[in-house]
Amino acid sequence: MPIFEKLALIVSDTERAHEVAPMYRDLTDWVPLEDAEAAVVIGGDGAMLQALHAMLDSGIIKPVYGVNLGTVGFLMNHNRAPEKLLRRIERARSVAVAPLCMDAVTQDGRTQEFCAINEVSLLRETRQTAKIEVSVDEKVRIKELVCDGVLVATPAGSTAYNLSANGPILPLDSNLLALTPISPFRPRRWRGALLPDRSTIRFRVLESEKRPVSVVADQKEVRDIAEVSLHIAREQELRLLFDPGHALDERIVAEQFLV
């Protein structure tokens, strides 16, 4: 079990989080993230994603324990007695999550790079359906996917937008990515694919001026794209801390039995 002597506290910018924050601030002498061995996030899944993205952007990557004050809290732990927090962190299990990194090229030639914890989604910008060429490991698999969009989800994100788009739930240790179409029109019967997470996936937007497409990596959007390339970044692996019996991999399995 991990034992962390120096902890950083990250509090969501919500009224509820600020109400309970004093109870957590009194537990220990918190330190800045760069000096910490691990971090505690108080908030919901959105706050956790924001904290993880900030770590990726800064290069200061620490194990993170989340306390849920949001709605779903899929990436968080239950909100229980604050005075037991430090003991819970000592008993927590560490789960590795590798981000999905995106290189997007816009129609005017600009390149933007972002990473996603959950998924990267391509979405039509207008009433016109999107037309997208899909390649995997430099081999064209679908010459023309006519759709509202298409997404690639990590196991950690497979129960989010991917599941809503009828994509598969992926066990956390599956080493797979879900490639899932959003309202596909052609090929009509194509429902997506499971790919090894070592794959490089490339999307090229067809008729991009007539049928503009945006790309969203979790919360960051790039509009009017020409092509997008995706790969898992093992060198930027993140670690989430969960209470025993409440780990992310168990919750992903349990999600498949909800009716």
pLDDT of 31 higher than 80: yes
Active site residue 108: no
Binding residues for NAD(+): 45-46, 118-119, 148, 156, 159-164
Please enumerate in sequence order all residues whose Cβ is within 8 A of that of 71, keeping only pairs 6 or more positions apart, or say none. Answer: 44, 45
Residue carrying the six token digits 């670690």: 239
pLDDT of 2 higher than 70: no
Q: What is the structure's pLDDT at 257?
A: 80
Q: Show the tokens assigned to 246.
A: 């409440």
Q: What are phi and psi of 113, to 5 degrees?
A: -125, 125
Q: Show the tokens assigned to 251.
A: 């919750």
Q: What span, in angstroms and rounded, lies between the C-alpha atoms of 221 and 155? A: 21
Whole-prediction pTM: 0.89
Q: Show the tokens assigned to 178.
A: 């879900």
Strand partners, 240: 64, 95
Question: Which one from 13, 35, 45, 173 is the annotated catalytic residue?
Answer: 45
Instruction: Give the rounded percent of residues in the chain with a pLDDT score beyond 90.
Output: 80
Give mean pLDDT, residues 154-177: 92
Residue carrying the six token digits 């919901």: 44
The domains located in the chain, with CATH, are 7-98+237-255 (3.40.50.10330), 100-235 (2.60.200.30)
Q: Which amino acid is at 189?
A: R
pLDDT of 1 higher than 70: no
Residue carrying the six token digits 């780990």: 247
Q: What is the structure's pLDDT at 73?
A: 81
What does pLDDT average to over the chain?
A: 93
Q: Which is more confident, 252 or 64?
A: 64
